[in-house]
Amino acid sequence: MSRLLGTLRGSQPVARFQRSCGLFPANKEGGCGSGSEPSAEGARDGGACNGAGALRSPAAPGRGVPNGVRSGRGPKGCTQKYIVKNYFYYYLFKFSAALGEEIFYITFLPFTYWNIGHSVSRRMIIIWSIVMYIGQVSKDILKWPRPLSPPVVKLEIRTDAEYGMPSTHAMAATAISFSFFIATMNHYKYPFELGLAAAFVFSTLVCLSRLYTGMHTVLDVIGGALIAAALLVLLYPAWDTIDHLLLTSPFSPLISIVVPLVLCYNYPKLDYYSPTRGDTTTILGAGAGATVGFWLNNQLAAASYAGEDFHLRLPLLTGKTVVVMLARFLVGILVILLTRRLMKSVVLGALGYHYQFPVADLAARRRPEVEVPYKFITYSSVGFSATVVVPLLHELLGLM
């Protein structure tokens, strides 16, 4: 068993999967390609482009990219060259990887609230927040490295600064797809097999994308999916109780704000900067703002926001229904993007004035006393806007 776990934790299975999908390093070593020179640290490591905890130094200027060869920025200022021989897998897994990023969360979760069902969305957002917090904290406690390069080709930059175990992409994909399946199954009538297959395909594509992009080992992905599945099983019996308390308890807004803030300020400390704390704060902030919005909508007792509003079969998708759903989505996304842009500017400006630093100072923005309130206030405003402001605007525009 230990030998099997060691193999699954290694880099070679990831490299073999990449090769089988037509992704190859452009040079024999698979590390820093011909377009750049490795840094001093890179030279000691044999030109490796590896992950969390690595020291970083500026990249040497490149000399251009050969025809047919792509490049991706790696850690330590290293430019890694790679060759794509199968563009179907390349675009499929690049798209699948985006399903675990902010662009997916900020579109799909609000879309669900506006067009599918409020109770479905509430359950998904709560599960997503819990699962992602546990996953992010686990990474910085376990401190397992990501796959080594060489032999692995790494296609991403930002997430390579984080540790590997568990894969939060795998956790989020499993949690979102199966919580959506379970929640809609309880409210709508549709073929069980179809929903199960869709959830399985969605989560599998995201999991495989983490191997293709070279960001996780097989064990990271399996561990992430299993942890998310276990949390779903443990939380499912309490879904209705949690939902009821969030909607009706007079302490719900206070708890929804204070608990996530305490967790963010007490996030595990590392000996170098990693985006995990900022990402976790973003997720918990969005969940907190949305939860306050859920509670407020229920207190207003508006018929369209009652807690038990979706129990029937799926509505027939006529042309008019599709147009209305699309209009809700476009109006909502516009409001969300404007809210995010405005709050980022206002909050960062206020923090810069208070702590006396220019807003362009990246090092200052990474300090906990700046990063946590900046991310939390911005994204809690986004969550509140998505659940309160946007539905009111929908009603005003006759899109309900």
Q: Give catalytic residues, as residue numbers.
A: 169, 216
Q: Which of 399, 392, 277 is nearest to 329 (CA)?
A: 399
Q: Residue 362 is which amino acid?
A: L
Parallel/antiparallel/unpaired status of strands 69-73 and 79-84: antiparallel
CB contact at 8 A, 50 and 146: yes
Q: Which of 347, 352, 377 is nearest to 281 (CA)?
A: 377
Q: Please give the Cα distance from 74 to 316 (Å, whole number).
A: 48
Residue-by-residue DSSP string for 302-367: -GGG-TT---SPPPP--HHHHHHHHHHHHHHHHHHHHHHHHHHHHHHHHHHHHHT--TT-HHHHTS
Q: SS3 of 9, please?
A: helix
Residue 385: both structure tokens together? 């806007």
Which H helix or E strand runs over 23? strand 23-25
Q: Please give the Cα distance from 216 to 139 (Å, whole number).
A: 12
